[in-house]
Amino acid sequence: MTPTDDEKMTLCGIVLHPAGHTRSPAMHTAAYSALGLNARYEVFDVPPQELAAAIAQARARGVRQLAVSLPHKETVIPHLDRIDDTARAIGAVNTVTRRDGALEGSNTDWLGAVRALERETPLAGRHAVVLGAGGSARAVVYGLHRRGATVTVLNRSISRAETLARDLGARRAGPLAALADVPHDVLVNTTSVGLRSDASPIPADVIRPESVVMDAVYDPEITRLLRDAQLRGARTIPGKWMLVYQAAAQLELWSDREAPVAVMAEAFDDVGTRA
């Protein structure tokens, strides 16, 4: 018996809660079309208490890859067969890929961040400041350190910044207000300040005109921080690119094809204009 088209179709998706407004289906589906991949991307709205059952169901359905978003990036780990060294170091999984029947957890957020930054600057030998000490900060600090940058972590809760710095090889930690005293060429905001608001985590006058500034926040695409940075003469990178490159890395993990980054970025924009 020959398998039908539907049986041959690769199933991927994203688990998150609440499902809200995710751009992942648009980006991945556009990439499947561009590459001629027979694949489908589904959104699984999974509350925390249903995560174990959802992963079991994904196994039973032979799901090839799941993106893992909030609030499941840490709690998914016990439900997997293994996680790779990068996800273990970061302490979070944003991607689950089926390999030889086993579910493997990995993390592409760090790669999304460094590839986005590398659009504007090499990272080796640079001095970077990361604002924030949550989940995305862990991935960004890991990536910057891995690329050879010296990293300072500044956060509202200083003890959280200190723990992150110790865990992931950042050189210094402190409060957000210390930014003015830390020489740097790269600045990344990973706090949620600016998300769907016109707030910035720092005053505009501490932004260095010679720095490259990236905001992990991608809604709105141009945040208050990025607007302030542009006015100060700094080069800026919207969080859109971090999201696009982490999605591109996910696609490459299962498809063994080079991701069509421009197509995925265009799909991100299309969702934005429809929102």
* Residue numbers at the binding site for ligand NAP (CB under 6 A): 109, 112, 132-137, 155-157, 160, 190-193, 195, 201, 216-218, 239, 242-243, 246
The SS3 of residue 9 is coil
- At its nearest, how many Å lie between ligand NAP and the CB of residue 72? 12
The per-residue b/e assignment along 99-129, b for 16 or more CB within 10 angstroms, e otherwise, is eeeebbbbbbbbbbbbbbbeeebebeebbbb
- At its nearest, how many Å lie between ligand NAP and the CB of residue 112? 5
In the residue annotation, 73 being an active-site residue is answered as yes
Which of 92, 123 has the CB closer to ligand NAP?
92
- At its nearest, how many Å lie between ligand NAP and the CB of residue 4? 36
- At its nearest, how many Å lie between ligand NAP and the CB of residue 89? 16
Which of 48, 62 has the CB closer to ligand NAP?
48
Which of 94, 98 has the CB closer to ligand NAP?
94
Q: Which two tokens stand for residue 53?
A: 């059952």
Going by their DSSP bridges, the two strands 127-131 and 150-154 should be labelled as parallel
H helix intervals, the chain: 5-8, 24-35, 51-60, 85-90, 109-117, 135-146, 158-168, 224-232, 239-255, 261-274
Which of 135, 174 has the CB closer to ligand NAP?
135
Name the catalytic one among 28, 72, 73, 98: 73
The per-type count for the chain, helices as H runs and strands as E runs, is 10, 12
Active-site annotation, residues: 73
